[in-house]
């Protein structure tokens, strides 16, 4: 004798759709303020600086003649009076006279010259 077996997959799928995808709609996105506090809390728990987790640019200026820039993505513009660099979070514009990129690697660069201003765009 043959028995007709009916799958309950379709009925389960219909009833579970409401609970499975409940939190994935566009209204429940994390806003930037909550994300920032989340990174701060995570950095506190892991005992790591927040800039490492967020990939924030680190600028170390030695007087007005030398600057070290870490965590950048690429060079946008480069000439003797202006250097524009793209980072993960913003663009950084360095203005001055006789600016020169002494060296650059994948994550760090050293800029020399007379630095007059640093702008975050």
- Chain segment 46-79, per-residue pLDDT in tens: 777 766 667 788 999 999 999 999 989 999 999 9
Residue 89 three-state SS: coil
Which two tokens mark 70? 């870490």
DSSP 55: T
**Which of 1-10, 26-35, 62-71 shows the highest mean pLDDT?**
62-71
Q: What is the mean pLDDT of residues 94-112?
A: 93
Q: Kindly indicate whether the domain formed by 56-120 is annotated with CATH number 2.60.40.2000.
A: yes
Angle at 113 between CA 56 and CA 106, to 5 degrees: 35
Q: Confidence class of residue 88 from pLDDT cuts 50, 70 and 90?
A: confident
Question: Taking 90 as the threshold, does the pLDDT of residue 109 lie above it?
Answer: yes
Q: Write out the two tokens for 21.
A: 């995808």
24 burial class (0-12, 13-18, 19+ CB within 10 angstroms)? exposed
Give Cα separations from 19 to 10, 13, 16, 23, 82 (angstroms).
15, 10, 5, 8, 54
Torsion of CA 38, 43, 45, 48, to 10 degrees: 170
């Amino acid at each position: 004798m043959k028995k007709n077996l009916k799958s309950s997959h379709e009925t389960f799928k219909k009833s579970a759709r409401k609970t499975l995808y409940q939190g994935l709609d566009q209204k429940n996105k994390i806003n930037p303020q909550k994300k920032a506090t989340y990174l701060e809390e995570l950095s506190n728990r892991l005992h790591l600086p927040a800039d490492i987790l967020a990939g924030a640019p680190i600028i170390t200026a030695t007087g007005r003649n030398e600057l070290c820039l870490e965590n950048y993505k690429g060079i946008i513009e480069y000439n003797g009076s202006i250097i524009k660099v793209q980072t993960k979070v913003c663009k950084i514009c360095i203005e001055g006279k006789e600016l020169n990129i002494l060296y650059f690697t994948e994550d760090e660069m050293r800029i020399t010259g007379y630095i007059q201003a640093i702008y975050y765009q």
